[in-house]
Structures are given as C-alpha cells and as structure tokens.
Amino acid sequence: MLSRAYVDELCATGIEAGLTRVGVASADPFDDVRAVLEQRKAAGLHGGMQFTYRNPARSTDPARALSGARSIVVGARSYPARLVAGPIGSDTGVPPRPVARVARYATDDHYRLLRDGLHAIAARLQADGWRARVLADDNALVDRAAAHRAGLGWYGKNANLLLPGIGSLVVLGAVLTDAELPATAQPAADGCGPCRRCLDSCPTGAIVTPGIVDARRCLAWLLQAEGDFPEEHREALGDRIYGCDDCQEVCPPNRGALRDGPPVRGGTVELIEMLTLDDDQLLARFGRWYIPRRDPRYLRRNALVVLGNVGDVSQQEVLAAVRRYLHGDDPMLRRHAAWAAGRLGLVAEATA
C-alpha cells in the first residue's frame, strides 16, 4: 500500500491541472450497483438507454477496463452554470430567430478539460512505474458510483452525485491504476434531508421515487433515444434541444454555482439553421453531442418538436422549415413536422 502522502500529491496534481475535487477508492467490483442496474434494466426503467446499462457486468468491474486495477482516482470538474444572455438575435433590431436551449454541461467540451486533469494524474502514476488508464464520459465505468465510493459526494434524490459545498454541476471521470492507494474517505452522508424539489419540478415526473429516474420519461434521454420522440412528452420538451437542467436548477446545493459561479454564454442554438444544414454540416457542428447512431435525422427530429413549441408562423422561415419536412421524403421527419404544424396552428397542413 502506498502512503497517504503520495495520494495527497496525486490529488494536488489533479487540482493544479484544473480538477475541482479528487478522491481515491478501491477498484473492487461494484456488485451492488450491478444488481441495481440489472434490476432496473429488467423493469424497463432504462428505456433503451445504453451507457453503463449497456453491459453492467463490464461497467461495474474496473478490472475489465484495466487488468489488475487496484485503485480508482476519481476527479470532478465544475462547469460554468450562471447563464448570461446569449448573443443570438439580441442586438440586430429584427425579430429573433427561434432558438433552442442546450443544457449547461453541453455548452462546451467540459470533458476535455476534465480529461486534462485526469491525464496529469495518470502521467504522474506512469512516471512512477504504475499502469494507469483514464476514463471519462465512457461506458466502461460507473463513474458516479466510483465518485461516491471515493467520498466525493452523496446520491441526490435526482440520482445525480452532489458534492458538499459544490453541488451537482460537475463532470466526473476516473483514473484506473494498478497502484494500491489508500482510500481518501468514507462515502459522504446524505445531504438532501427532507427536500424533494427535484421530484416536484421534473417536467414529466421522471423521478419516480427518490433516486430512481425512469428514462422513458426523462427528456434528456428522450432527446438521445432512437425512434419517434414520444408524443405525450413533446409539449413538455419546451425549448430544450439537448439535455435538461430542471432537476439541477431547483436543487438548493447548486444555488451558489447558478447565482455566483463563472458565467456560461451561448447555451442556445438556432432552429432554422439546424433544419437547413446538410448531414455533414450538422455533424460538423453538433458532432460532440450524443446522437443515436450518429444519424443527423435525430437532430432534425428534435429541432422540429422544439420548433413546434417555440416557433412563430408569422415568420416565413419557420413556415418554410415546417413545410419542407412536411413534404419531405423521410417518414419520421414528416410525422414530427405534422405534429409541429398542428402545434403551430397550421391545422389544414398538419392533417393533409
């Protein structure tokens, strides 16, 4: 077992490289998490979600990602959360074009910055003769469970990990290593108390019981799922085009980051642009997002639903965009354009 002083140096390396919090846990399999994932998958609560549900036996066993793994160094990086007005259409004097909202975590490549911090830790371990593998935004590890085991935070009732004094507006990643490191802490105690704001504020009631999210109702997942966007949740989608921040916006531990933290600008995208770009342009512009099968039709599907919610048919380009897909050759997009047309009051066109 290596010394606590060595762990302190690793943590300091991560903090210097931009991480907000660093902790260490053993790399024993997460058997309890595996059982929960398998149960929820069997109950259908994953709603087809892949990620760590894809292969729970693999994502809960760190040794599958790095043979001989003994420890996990977990890093969290806060991302900017205080929204400031975006530049789109704000000072041109013409009616603003319809825009859709992007969740805060996706406004920039925060995982790249997280990886920089994790790689600094991995480089130190490797320089000292150990093996190390960085995992961030990867299906190979249940990163929240690792962060919980490392004592970084508690599971909120919205199923996010909340870091004391910081909240849940963070991205998480890990370094697996064969070095045997002393754990930094016991898992943090629950900090939600009697609060249940996230359950009450979810637009679709997707948090079915504290800590359990039914993916079939979670707007963030439905935007990333294949097939038609469920009709019963299209109005609730509102202007969201990627991710949903609602359960984090109402969460008291996030208040400081939302009110006083570093600002985020540009959390919107133009819908007409999304509905006009060709496949290559769409993937070049939004390729960092998770898109089912990397199929740009899903970006258009989502944009049509949002346009139905926020568009103004007195704007010619809105009308033209809806009509273009209503009469296009893609049945899925035709269906969503028909819904948008109906929602915008174009009754004759929606039923034609």
Which are the contacts of 67, defined by CB distance < 8 A and separation ≥ 6? none
Q: How far is the CB of 210 from ligand SF4 (least distance, A)?
A: 7
Q: How far is the CB of 232 from ligand SF4 (least distance, A)?
A: 24
Q: How far is the CB of 221 from ligand SF4 (least distance, A)?
A: 18
Q: With residue 127 as reference, give the H or E element that holds it.
A: helix 110-127
- What is the token pair recorded at 172? 């998480």
Annotation marks residue 91 as catalytic: no
Strand 240-242 and strand 99-102: pairing? parallel
- Determine whether 228 is exposed, middle or buried from the number of CB atoms within 10 Å of its CB (0-12, 13-18, 19+): middle
Quick one: 196 or 327, whose CB is closer to ligand SF4?
Answer: 196
Question: Cα–Cα distance between 181 and 70 in angstroms, integer?
Answer: 8
User: Which of 196-202's residues contact partners 24+ apart within 8 Å by CB, and which partners?
Assistant: 196/157, 197/250, 197/251, 197/252, 198/156, 198/157, 198/158, 198/247, 198/248, 198/250, 198/251, 199/157, 199/158, 201/246, 201/247, 201/249, 201/250, 202/158, 202/246, 202/247
Within the chain, strands assigned E span: 21-26, 71-78, 82-83, 99-102, 132-136, 154-155, 161-162, 170-177, 207-209, 212-213, 240-242, 263-264, 268-270
Site string for ligand SF4, 239-268 (x = CB under 6 A): -----------xxxx---------------
Q: How far is the CB of 153 from ligand SF4 (least distance, A)?
A: 11
Quick one: 210 or 292, whose CB is closer to ligand SF4?
Answer: 210
Question: Cα–Cα distance between 236 and 248 in angstroms, integer?
Answer: 17
Q: Which residues in 155-184 contact ligand SF4 (CB under 6 A)?
A: 156-158
Question: Cα–Cα distance between 284 and 201 in angstroms, integer?
Answer: 34
- What is the token pair recorded at 123? 């480089």
Count of chain residues binding ligand SF4 (CB under 6 A): 12
Site string for ligand SF4, 20-39 (x = CB under 6 A): --------------------
Segments in 129-214 forming alpha helices (H): 143-149, 197-201
**Residue sitting closest to ligand SF4 (CB):** 156
* From 128, 137, 138, 239, active-site residue: 137
Q: C-alpha angle 330/334/337, rounded to 5°?
A: 140
Q: Which amino acid is at 97?
A: R
Q: How far is the CB of 207 from ligand SF4 (least distance, A)?
A: 8
Strand partners, 308: none
Q: How far is the CB of 42 from ligand SF4 (least distance, A)?
A: 26
Site string for ligand SF4, 179-218 (x = CB under 6 A): -------------x--xxxx--------------------
Indicate which residues carry an active-site annotation: 137
Residue ranges in contact with ligand SF4 by CB under 6 A: 156-158, 192, 195-198, 250-253
